[in-house]
Amino acid sequence: MKISTKPLLRVWAWQKEAACRGMDPSVFFSPVSERGRARRRREEAAREICRACPVSGPCGRFAHTSQQEYGVWGGYTEKERRSIRRITDRK
């Protein structure tokens, strides 16, 4: 395992510019019982925030490389990230 020599703050610096910083995480992460239309509405609200975010790219890459299973990251839903992972795993 390769250990990063970058200072930890630099690795996470993109987060300080995030549009979601300080927001209620429930906008990005679903409650256990959330289904159907309610889930799609919440995800679309989260994606709208991500569309205006200056660091949605680094956020999405972080979610992909760290295999985040839950929530909306960089404008990508859990389902979208699973699809991307399946496609990239085939290569």
Do the domain assignments include residue 70? Answer: yes
Is 61 annotated in a binding site? The answer is no
Do the domain assignments include residue 10? Answer: no
Is 20 annotated in a binding site? The answer is yes
Cα–Cα nearest to 70, from 37, 36, 31: 31
Do the domain assignments include residue 49? Answer: yes
Is 68 annotated in a binding site? The answer is no
CA–CA gap between residue 82 and residue 49 (Å, rounded):
21
Is 76 annotated in a binding site? The answer is no
More confident site: 52 or 88: 52
**Residue 73: strand, helix, or coil:** strand
Do the domain assignments include residue 86? Answer: yes
Domain count of the fold of the chain: 1
Tens digit of each residue's pLDDT (9 = 90 or more) over 10-61:
778 899 999 999 999 999 999 999 999 999 999 999 999 999 999 999 999 9
Provide the domain limits for residue 71. Answer: 26-90
Amino acid (1-letter code) at residue 21: R
Residue with tokens 């510019």: 17
CA–CA gap between residue 18 and residue 50 (Å, rounded):
9
Model confidence, pTM = 0.83
Do the domain assignments include residue 31? Answer: yes
